[in-house]
Amino acid sequence: MESLWDFFEAGRTYIVNCELAHERIVTAAYGELPDDQVHELERHLGDCADCRKEREQLLAMKVLADAVPVAEPGPNLVARSRLRLDEALDALPPRRWYELLAQRLMNNVASLQAAPVAAGLLLVAGIGAGSLGGFEFSQNRAAHAASISTAAAPPAITPAGTQAQPVAEPTISNVASVSSIVRQPGSQMVQVNYNQLVPEHMQGTMDNPVIRQLLMLASENSTSAGVRDDSVGLLAAECRAGHGCQAAGIRDALMVALRYDKNTGVRQKALEGLEPYVAEDVRVRNAVLEALLNDNDPRIRTQSINILEPVEADTSVRQVLYSVSTSDENPQIRNVSRQVLSRVPEIQ
């Protein structure tokens, strides 16, 4: 150093380097310092004992901090948290169609804000489409008004002796209902006014409420055991997975199927779907008890006993088990009931 000024300059640079070095020591210890700065830092630490001590202290602190380990969440905690979340999500009211539409519009607007040229083109296209659509709409409205006035007229009976217009005969399975029958006195002709079913189909996932409604309808009304089996199977799977199996709704449909369906396979699936709720829902428990007492299939009765195991100390369950143990026609079921009764000596 040639002068006092040089001495102060060197000292000032030394202090700034140490302050910066302290920060870089932390960044480097956590692997975030760029390589060129690591090299500069190492050079500085080679000359500065204070900073070397600072680094040792930081590394020691890191080791000490690791004495509080990060625990992995246990499977019970994960399962409980999931269940609680599922219940809360099930309890949320379904979003209305206008809310979904508004959300979609907002998403589209947000996308367009990032693309002004596209937005401009869309605006022009929108104005053109709107004008054309308005014209078409007014045309259709006029045509529809004309067809309504024709349809609203009461069905006229063709006068006797005149040739009736030929009408395509309906397929009986497509007839929903007969609304009226008209017979002209002295004539062989009978006019039957009927309403026709229009076959349709719909696709969707199991969390679509309309799909669920249709499946619940299918579980009760279908004349086909195969359709009832499929619908009850899907609904039962939802309940076993804990997806939206509220008391009023799917659970009710499964209880109806268990009580009244004539097909054993359908009743079995319904029972499987109700199993998770036998402890918490008294109505489910009663439905299962009824199945145990009244179902004519021994497999259903045996399965009911197994499902009732978590609540085998319940008074009503024990009463039914006692009755079954003495009066069931199937010796194996009588045996199993006695075994269950003997497992829980006291009524809770």
Mark residues 284-323: x for contact with other proteins by CB under 8 A, - for none: ----------------------------------------
How many chain residues are in contact with other proteins, going by CB under 8 A? 45
For other proteins, the binding residues in 129-148 under the rule CB under 8 A are none
Residue 224 gets which letter from DSSP?
A: -
Could you say whether residue 106 binds other proteins (CB under 8 A)?
A: yes
- Parallel, antiparallel, or unpaired: how do β-strands 190-196 and 175-183 relate? antiparallel
Q: Report how far residue 249's alpha carbon sits from residue 286's, in angstroms, rounded to the nearest whole number.
A: 17
Could you say whether residue 47 binds other proteins (CB under 8 A)?
A: no
Contacting range for other proteins; rule: CB under 8 A; set: 27-35, 140-148, 195-203, 256-264: 27-35
Give min distance, CB of 103 to other proteins, in A: 4
Could you say whether residue 49 binds other proteins (CB under 8 A)?
A: no
Mark residues 237-256: x for contact with other proteins by CB under 8 A, - for none: ------xx------------
Letter for the amino acid at 199?
P
Q: Report how far residue 271's alpha carbon sits from residue 308's, in angstroms, rounded to the nearest whole number.
A: 11
Give first-to-last CA distance, the chain, whole Å.
93
Contacting range for other proteins; rule: CB under 8 A; set: 58-66, 143-151, 161-169, 297-305: 58-66
80: left (phi over 0), alpha (psi -120 to 50) or beta: alpha
Cα angle, residue 330 at apex, residues 327 and 335 outer, rounded to 5° = 80
3-state secondary structure (DSSP) of residue 190: strand
Structural contact between residues 75 and 82, judged by C-beta atoms closer than 8 angstroms: no
Q: Report how far residue 215's alpha carbon sits from residue 53's, in angstroms, rounded to the nearest whole number.
A: 72
Give min distance, CB of 10 to other proteins, in A: 26
Give min distance, CB of 201 to other proteins, in A: 20
Compute CA 278 distance to the chain's CA centroid, rounded to the nearest angstrom: 21
Give residues in contact with other proteins (CB under 8 A). Answer: 22-23, 26-27, 30, 32, 57-58, 60-62, 64-65, 67-73, 76-78, 80-82, 84-86, 88-89, 92, 94-95, 100, 103-104, 106-107, 110, 205-207, 243-244
